[in-house]
Amino acid sequence: MPDESSDIALSKGLFVRASYISYPTQPNSVDSKSYLSGFSFFSKEPSLDAIEISHLYMNIQTHISGSKLALSFAQTSQREKIQNWMLRGTEISEKHAQIFGKALLENHIRLPVPHDIAISDLTTSIISDRLAMFQMNFLSAAGTGNYATAAATS
């Protein structure tokens, strides 16, 4: 019963699956300094590991959702200054999602496909500008924490 909605979405082709990382066929341990070659300006970067892939994937999804939320807040705000601030946030989020997506594509990893997030043409504000600004500041702080976690584990 708890998986019923997932099963229906899967049967309709709407279920968004995470990228699949195959299990290694043999153990691979770090036995040389070449594993850290990504830290040299003269050598090729190492391939991504599973933890790095999961953090990139999560940050892409977060940025896609955040950019759509900022766009919807810009659309419903009556103040031009807040609209501009929200639109700038949308641009930043989309740029970061593209950068992370490029890192996945360079390692031949499928990009996360966002849920079909559609923004209506509603222009009537249903929440205050103050609450919208608080929400976006909160999401920005959470995103900074996600970056710090990703950096610490990579």
Residue 20 scores a pLDDT above 70: no
Q: At 34, which amino acid appears?
A: S
- How many other C-beta atoms are found inside a 10 Å radius of the C-beta of residue 148? 10
| Predicted pLDDT at 4 | 83
d(CA 145, CA 99): 18
Higher pLDDT, 72 or 115: 72
Assigned fold of 46-153 = Ferritin (1.20.1260)
Segment 48-59 shows an average pLDDT of: 88
- Condensed to tens digits (0 to 9), the pLDDT of residues 34-51 reads 555 555 555 566 678 888
Range 111-116 average pLDDT: 67
Helices (H), 33-124: 50-76, 80-106
Q: What is the mean pLDDT of residues 49-54?
A: 87
Give the Cβ contact number of residue 69 at 10 Å. 20
